[in-house]
Amino acid sequence: MVSIEDIAWTEKYRPSKISEIIGQEAIAHRLEAFVKSKSFPNMIFAGPAGVGKTTSALAMAKELYGNELGEAFKELNASDSRGIDVIRGSVKEFARTLPLTSGLVKIIFLDEADALTPEAQHALRRTMERYSATTRFVFSANYASKIIEPIQSRCVVLRFKPLNEEEVKKYIHRIEKGEGLQIEEKAVEALVYVSEGDLRKLTNVLQSAAVLNSKVGEREVYDIASRARPKEVNSMLKYAMDGDFQKARNELNTLLLNYGMSGEDVLLQCYREALNLPVGEHMKLSLLKAIGEYNFRIVEGANERIQLEAMLANLALLEKK
């Protein structure tokens, strides 16, 4: 039985070496070459959440500095300190000090750098130039396009790819073996489904499920992730497309009340299941169009329940026509 006092698995199973990073072999090979040569440029790590951007930066720094990591590596989360003051303060202060490591430059790692304000980014580009002899900058961003062009031109952009199903399963079995868990095959499939390639999300869901029982089942995974099973979403959409609005509405009630899902969560799962439905091409196109329209309405502030039922009614009317 896993104790709730155990260290968070997101840290416990974080690779300490570049070669251990899952699913990013091409990038790992380049980072290992940088470490070996002890020379590297400013970099932008771009890609979706939970695929190893922060882990890669930390693993690279550990291999470079070893026991001197705290003196040569500074990590900041740009989403917490987004303004120009943090650039003029802690970033500039760390960049201007001489490195204490033998013959190595220091690294400033800015996580979620796409959250920095444009003013802060413009202040940062001059700092990058002025202290290039002693400091390198590594930016982590979900959307590299939100980083201004002058900074992008000063960096090598490494694009992290989403993890595929086999890579996610490999990580699940690694935790299963390390923690002595029993994870049912359907639970593995459920973890792959709810994580959407995000290993951080997967780890948190799996740890929460394992706290309750060392034997992890499909139901626990979906309950903790507040997600519906794909077949339940398919059932709701199928009823609507067959013109049976009342049954579709009952299925919607199950999703909202039993799983506590938000309107956007429901639409996101509808989008993921749309192309798997056993209906004609025309109905699939109508469904995708409806999902986009009603998602926009909900994001703009319309009532979630009314908009979801309106979408189901719209699909039912299409079938009757």
pLDDT value of position 214: 84
What's the alpha-carbon Rg for the chain, to the nearest Å?
24
Beta carbons of 124 and 147 less than 8 angstroms apart: no
How far apart CA 287 and CA 278 sit, in angstroms, is: 13
- In this predicted structure, the answer to whether residue 223 has a pLDDT above a threshold of 60 is yes
Return the residue matching tokens 């199950």: 254
Return the residue matching tokens 């004609």: 280
Q: Where do the DSSP E strands lie in 102-223?
A: 106-111, 135-141, 156-159, 182-183, 215-216
Cβ-count burial 277-299 (b if 16+ within 10 Å, e if not): bebeeebeebbeebbeebbebbe
- Residue 94's pLDDT band (cuts 50, 70, 90): confident
How far apart CA 281 and CA 175 sit, in angstroms, is: 41
Q: What is the pLDDT of residues 236-272, one digit of tens each?
A: 998 888 888 999 999 999 888 888 888 888 999 999 8
**Overall average pLDDT of the 134-160 stretch:** 90
pLDDT value of position 46: 92
The partner residues of 141 in beta bridges, in order of sequence, read: 46
Identify whether residues 152 and 173 lie together within a single domain.
no
**Overall average pLDDT of the 87-100 stretch:** 72
Within a domain: residue 277? yes
**Overall average pLDDT of the 304-308 stretch:** 93
Q: What angle do CA 276, 280, 285 make, to 5 degrees?
A: 75
- Residue 45's pLDDT band (cuts 50, 70, 90): very high
Residues spanned by the domain of 263? 230-320
Structure tokens at 35: 């470490």
Structure tokens at 118: 């444009």
pLDDT value of position 312: 92
Higher-confidence residue of 285 and 83: namely 285
Identify whether residues 234 and 217 lie together within a single domain.
no
The answer, as to whether pTM is greater than 0.85, is: no
Higher-confidence residue of 10 and 175: namely 175
- Residue 101's pLDDT band (cuts 50, 70, 90): low
Backbone angles phi, psi at 134, to 5 degrees: -120, -15
Within a domain: residue 4? no
**Overall average pLDDT of the 299-319 stretch:** 89
Query: Any idea what the CATH number is for the domain that residue 192 is in?
Result: 1.10.8.60
Within a domain: residue 51? yes
Separate counts of helices (H) and strands (E) for the chain = 17, 7
Beta carbons of 87 and 126 less than 8 angstroms apart: no
Domain end residue (candidates: 159, 178, 198): 159
- In this predicted structure, the answer to whether residue 17 has a pLDDT above a threshold of 70 is yes
Beta carbons of 174 and 12 less than 8 angstroms apart: no
